Each structure stands twice: as structure tokens, then as C-alpha cells.
Structure 1
Amino acid sequence: MSADVKKSLSLTPNQQTLWNQMEGRSRSILRERQRRRETLQEQAKTLLAKPEVELRDLNRAVEAEAAATNTEDKQLREAWLEVNDALDDKQRAQVATFIGEQLMRVVPEGRSGTERGGERGGERGGGRPGGMGGHGRGGMGGPGGASINLGG
């Protein structure tokens, strides 16, 4: 989550400790995801370079990545819900407002940013590593997806 939100919450020392633990856990999960996806990207390039390519092999790898991402996303949500449980009512309301604002910034698939009043197309709200949702930057697809970029 945004450093500004963290600061505005005026966390107690115990809340601060829990927040820091969850940020570290989130970063670790997202780093591992990035590493896995880079490996998958290389595997895909190698596989597709073969004249006798079997796309089912690639599909299995993509499905495995999607399943791992789904599991990680659940872990990230649960971790940040632990932080939410430690907040008081005022802090929870602040977090809910922040998340609501971030959700309003998400551009739906297939729509350009100009349809939303001039926002840049393709940009997702927040997207900060260590946040609630956990999709972070550097993924290989949309939310929970494991699509592969085969471009140069």
C-alpha cells in the first residue's frame, strides 16, 4: 500500500511491526513470482523455437503459473486482512476509502483510458508491490493471469 496511506494511519508500534512484516512477506512473494515468470518466459521462447513444438507443454507451464499466482494472491489477501484486523475502526475506514479510490482508477479490459475521461489507457490503479491484492508490477498478465509476452 502507499507510503502516504501508511503514514496517514498513525499506526501504533504493534500495528507498525505487523505492517512491516506483511510488507516484507508481500515483497518476497512478488519477487518469487517475478523470478518464476521470467523463467517461464525463457522456457516459452526455447520451446517455441523448436520446429516440433508441442503447445500442450507450454500450456501446462502457463496453467501451473496461473495456479501458483492464484495461491499467492490468496496468501497476500489473507496477510493483509491480518493487518486490517489489527486496525481500529477509523483506520479501517481510511483503508477502505483508499482501496475504493484505487478501484476507481482501474481501466476495464478492452477499454481505452480516453473512455474514462482522459486517464492513460492500460494503467492499473496502484499496482504497488506490497499492497493489498498483490499483483505488483512486472507480471506476465492481468490480474491472476499468466499470459506470455512473445514479442521482442
Structure 2
Amino acid sequence: MAALLEVKNLVKKYKTVVAVNGASFSVEAGVCFGLLGPNGAGKTTAIEIIEDVIPPTSGEIIYKGQPRTASFKDEVGIQFQTTSLLSFLTVRETLETFKSLYRNTADIDNLVEMCHLGEFQHQYNDKISGGQRQRFLMAMALINQPELL
């Protein structure tokens, strides 16, 4: 099976600090892949490069056998480690807002059920617990029915 995602010789340097030093790996479709390492190993930096949030110093990111294109961001889901949420919106309103940003989207009621958001979907974003927030962020990452999460 061909890799859905390939990372080849990824390097990220900040002045005198090498945050990522030649990372290479591939992820096949349908596989749960973990990027593990100690604090400061460059895991978050590597993910941010893959997500096209920051540019690499060198290396390649290959998605479906090709360099990433503009459609990449429509086809992946991202659950950020931390993110700011608008406190004046409810969980459900935020999901509806994110849904409006994509063409191919999941049904919000299905996401609410799948991620166990029902009991707090009408609460404001700043009023939910840490565990509820993580389930909510997972639903946000799934809103565009990503091929890669």
C-alpha cells in the first residue's frame, strides 16, 4: 500500500538551534501513527511543518504521492495542542462556524454524538472542562471529514 503521507529528511533550524534534524517517516492510510519523543525533541515543530503552519529549512512533505497542494488543508484535520476559542460562542455554534469554512463536511449531530458533546454542546466555549475541550477539539478536527488526522 502506498503511503498517504511521506516526510523526507525534514530539517528545521532557528538560528543556532536545530529543532528537527533529518526526520523521515511515512504513514499509510488507515494507520494510527504516533510521533513520540522527549520534550524539546521537535515533535510539535515537525507537525506544524507537515500542517504547513511553518516552513521547513529543508526536506520534503509528500501527500498522496505528490508535494502538498492547496487542497491539502481541505483534506486533513488538525487537533491543535492549544488553541484559542471565542468565549461568546457555544460549542455547537463554533462547530457550525467551522463547518461553514469547508465544502465537504460531516453532520454536526453525528459529530456531537461520536465525540460525546451532547451534554455541553450549548455551553459557552470558556465554560467547559479540560476533557470536554479535548473532545470538542477532536470534533473540530473531524468537521471536514479528513483523510488524514
Please tell me the TM-score bracket, short chain as reference: under 0.3
Indicate the structure with greater strand content: 2
Indicate the structure with greater helix content: 1
TM-score normalised over the length of structure 1: 0.25
Which protein has greater RCO, CA pairs closer than 8 Å, 6+ apart? Answer: 1
TM-score normalised over the length of structure 2: 0.25
